Amino acid sequence: MKTVNPESDIRILKIGSCLSVSGKSTLTYHIGCTAEADIQFRVYANTGAGFFSKEWLSLNTILEAIEKGGTSFALTSLFRGKSQNNTAFLLAVLLEEGLIKPSNDRRGGYECIDPSGFMERLKPLIDSKTSLKDNDKPSKPVKTSADDKAPKPSKKKSSSDKESSDKISPR
């Protein structure tokens, strides 16, 4: 049930970025459409060391697979590439776009969210004939888990701050 489309048939509507499910890397992804307005997804870049496939997959096929299986394993058959990262990276993108959410009933599982809001946001891009280039930058920066580990500036007063505050007289 593979739905790989030739790149030349897909117009890139949006380039986005998100954290991987593990939070260890930032993914760049593309959302595109065919001439028939069939929405397509692909992961395009990864700041981490993990390999993945840049295959285009139809949103309808992706959502059907999630409805049937509900886990990353359900997406495995959609990819030609054999990397184990493919499914987890795709799940991260779908979470970022608000197309799926973690399941309340199944640990490690996901549920589809009504895609009508997502489609409404894409419609102006489809209608405007937007066509981005592969290497264009994502539309917004993403905070990475490395940002959380970066040392924070100290709030302690330095000795020069203390000296200057001692010189200020109260009014």
Q: What is the pLDDT of residues 113-125, one digit of tens each?
A: 999 999 999 999 9
| 45 domain-assigned | yes
Q: How far apart are CA 76 and CA 2, in angstroms?
A: 10
Q: What is the pLDDT of residues 39-65, one digit of tens each?
A: 999 999 999 988 999 999 999 999 999
Q: State the pLDDT at residue 151.
A: 42
Q: State the pLDDT at residue 118.
A: 96
Opening angle at CA 128, ends 126 and 134, nearest 5:
65
Structure tokens at 45: 């870049």
| 159 domain-assigned | no
Which residues have a Cβ under 8 Å from the Cβ of 114 and sit 6 or more positions away? none
| 168 domain-assigned | no
Q: How far apart are CA 45 and CA 51, in angstroms?
A: 9
pLDDT tier at 77, thresholds 50, 70, 90? confident
| 160 domain-assigned | no
Q: State the pLDDT at residue 30.
A: 97
Average of per-residue pLDDT values in the chain: 80
| 147 domain-assigned | no
Residue 128 confidence (pLDDT) above 60:
yes
pLDDT tier at 132, thresholds 50, 70, 90? very high
Q: State the pLDDT at residue 7.
A: 56
Q: What is the pLDDT of residues 144-165, one digit of tens each?
A: 444 454 444 444 444 444 444 4
| 27 domain-assigned | yes
pLDDT tier at 29, thresholds 50, 70, 90? very high
Mean pLDDT of 17-21: 95
Structural domain of residue 42, as residue ranges? Answer: 7-141
Specify the number of domains making up the chain: 1
| 43 domain-assigned | yes
Rounded percentage of the chain residues whose pLDDT exceeds 90: 51
